[in-house]
Structure 1
Amino acid sequence: MKVELAQRKQAEEAFREANAFLESLFNYANAPIIVWDREYRIFQFNRAFERLTGLSAEQVLGSRGTFFLLPSNK
């Protein structure tokens, strides 16, 4: 039982570290990153996307991600 608990704690710590690393990559990447759902509604984007588009979270979050595509790509 002690071994299982120690393994679980170790796995949880590894998960937290990996999550923090990925969050840092997302937030500080110089490339724009957008995350959307199956209906193409944007629910997250990084600072590079904001710098590139000049759009704020209020303007983008929840909107369909196709708004910035060229008409031929929609």
Structure 2
Amino acid sequence: MKAFDFRLQTKLDISTLQKDIARENLQASLQVRDEIAQELNQLADRVQAIESSIRETSDPAPFSYLLARRQYLPV
């Protein structure tokens, strides 16, 4: 049986490949994170616009009630 020949270059190649895969996964995760953050910002802007339109078109009492119930609105 032939003896196993350990080569540092092989280990380096494997480590480099693993690092490249991890870097690609990180980039994909960062892109997804940025897309979600952008969507969240758009939703926050939308909620703020809805709140201001309610403020302009309704009495102060119902608006304060809506603000109290705001946490229950589905996003």
TM-score by length of 2: 0.47
Relative to its length, the structure with more strand (as a share) is 1
TM-score by length of 1: 0.48
Relative to its length, the structure with more helix (as a share) is 2
Bigger-Rg structure (1/2):
2
